[in-house]
Amino acid sequence: MTLIRAAIPAAFLIFSVLGCLFGTQASASEIEVVEAEEILAEIRDGEAVERFQVRIEGDLDLRSLEGGVRSPVTIVDCEIAGPVRMEGAAFDGPVRFEETNFEEMALFSGARFNASADFSYSTFEDTVFFDSTQFGGDARFCATRFGRDAYFSNAVFSGISDFNFTRFAEEYVLFDGVRFCGPAHFEDAEFGRWTNFYGSRFSEEADFLLATFPGRSFIANVTFEGDAKFAGVEFDSFAEFEDSRFEGDFLLYGSTISYMKLNGTVFGEGSQVHLNNTEIEGFVIPWRTMEDHLVFRDEVYMGLVENYKRLGWFQDADNCYYHYRKLSQERKPVGWSKAIDHLAWLSCGYGVRPDFTFAWSLSIILLFGSVFYLGGGLLQPEGPGEGALPFSAGSSEVKVAGEASPREGAAACGSAGPEPPGFGEAIYFSSLVFIAQAPAEYRARGRYRYLVIFEGILGWLMLALFLVGLGNLMIR
């Protein structure tokens, strides 16, 4: 009894599966078959074509048709067994080929769809040609599947072009020289191993949200007059945007970029580049190209710095880091952090501008040297063959009322004495104080001794900053 109870569900499952299989075969055999010549006759007579869930056999060839197709054509959820030859055909009314399976090659080269054209949810098993085709109304290829190559070269889309959820085969996808006059939508589309948009023009927004480019994508010399939305896109291979122009924003946030080349790219005056949450392995674009267009985010700038270092573009890495620190400083509220950042900028250019430190060092040496010279702050001890200056025993300072100069002190002792140090000697003294220690042949007098200490401290600080900045350049 137990065995019988266990066998009942199994038997029910088997009969259910067999019923589905035989039911499917029976329904398939019941599909109405329509000859292509019947449809062609209706088109020639100017009658509206309407076919639903039929199988069309024979060649659907409109090349010999004169005067174009004046009536609407509706072929929905059908199978077209033979080749479709509609090169140069002109459709005045709307055309619908929704949910239709094209089993052989479909050629629409040079065709004109003056109204809407809808190929949504259809399948092209063989190569399809829409090159030089003009879509006067909306063109919809939503969730369409292409089994082999798809050619849209030099086509014109006057209205909305909808390729959302489209699946192109792992073959060639050609949109080169295409003019998208209306919004272009390629959301969640999956392209082939070679995708070509070379020389195309998007007059309005180009939306590639969540699209996938598994192979090489050639999107060079393309003009984006509206926003170029590539958010969440996966570029699994080379993506070439060279010599393209972006008049609107270039949105790449949340994308995965294996290797993208943007050499020669031009951004409009108000264009912004969004790279937040973007995974970048290789991003080839000179920093000067997008310096004023990158949207500020800490992780974006630091990611670009690392990207430039991987490429060996160390000058671009330094410029990017310098620009980032400058913007970060401007955004900080007034306080110690902002003051320290400002000091880091002035002294060493945030560690990537050693020339800043070098310039400050020269300025400090000149400034202190001038002060020593103009203020008479240096004394020269007795040298060979010279009269001694009025130093008291055990003291390096001349003790004369009113801070008399060395020349006056010497004259008071009845001796002309040596000439006071000149400007060059003052600079020499200042230089040695800055980089090492004061020379023995000169001494500072009075309050100038404290300037020697202060200059020495500045010298050690500047030397340390200079060595750090220079080390960054030399090590890499």
Residues contacting residue 270 through CB under 8 Å, at least 6 positions apart: none
Query: ∠ at Cα 272 (267, 276), nearest 5°?
Result: 130
Alpha helix positions (H), 75-211: none
Q: Name the residue with tokens 């949109």.
A: 175
CA atoms within 13 A of residue 400's CA, in its CB half-sphere: 16
Q: What are the φ and ψ backbone dihedral angles of 159, each rounded to 5 degrees?
A: -110, -145
Which has the higher per-residue pLDDT, 4 or 222? 222
Task: Report which of 204, 243, 205, 208 is spatially closest to residue 222, judged by C-alpha positions.
Answer: 243
For residue 378, give the H/E element and its range: strand 378-379
Q: Kindly state the percentage of the chain with pLDDT values over 90.
A: 53
pLDDT at residue 476, as a whole number = 61
In contact, 451 and 430? CB cutoff 8 Å? no
Q: How confident is the model at residue 450 (pLDDT cuts 50, 70, 90)?
A: confident
β-bridge mates for residue 185, sequence order: 162, 207
pLDDT digits (tens, 9 = 90+) for 37-83: 999 999 999 899 999 999 999 999 998 888 889 999 999 999 999 99
pLDDT digits (tens, 9 = 90+) for 396-440: 444 433 444 444 444 444 445 556 778 888 888 888 888 877 777
pLDDT at residue 210, as a whole number = 96
Taking the C-alpha atoms of residue 326 and residue 336, their distance in angstroms, rounded to an integer, is 16
In contact, 242 and 267? CB cutoff 8 Å? no
Give the mean model confidence (pLDDT) for residues 13-32.
50
Task: Report which of 99, 146, 152 is spatially closest to residue 124, judged by C-alpha positions.
Answer: 146
pLDDT at residue 391, as a whole number = 38
How much of the chain is helix, strand and coil, in % rounded to 5? 35, 20, 45
Which tokens sit at 176?
Answer: 């080169």
β-bridge mates for residue 69, sequence order: 91
Task: Report which of 30, 19, 26, 95 is spatially closest to residue 62, judged by C-alpha positions.
Answer: 95
Give the mean model confidence (pLDDT) for residues 225-245.
95
Residues contacting residue 182 through CB under 8 Å, at least 6 positions apart: 138, 157, 158, 159, 160, 161, 203, 204
Taking the C-alpha atoms of residue 161 and residue 164, their distance in angstroms, rounded to an integer, is 9
Q: pTM of the entire structure?
A: 0.75
**Residues in the chain, total:** 476
pLDDT at residue 209, as a whole number = 96
Which tokens sit at 251?
Answer: 């949105």
Based on the number of CB atoms within 10 Å of its own CB, is 29 exposed (0-12), middle (13-18) or buried (19 or more)?
Answer: exposed
Question: Exposure pattern of 90-128 as b/e (b: 16+ CB <10 Å)?
Answer: bbbbbbbbbbbbbbebbbbbbbbbbebbbbbbbbbbebb
pLDDT digits (tens, 9 = 90+) for 245-282: 999 999 999 999 999 999 999 999 999 999 999 998 88
Which tokens sit at 329?
Answer: 């400083």
Q: Kindly state the percentage of the chain with pLDDT values over 70.
A: 84
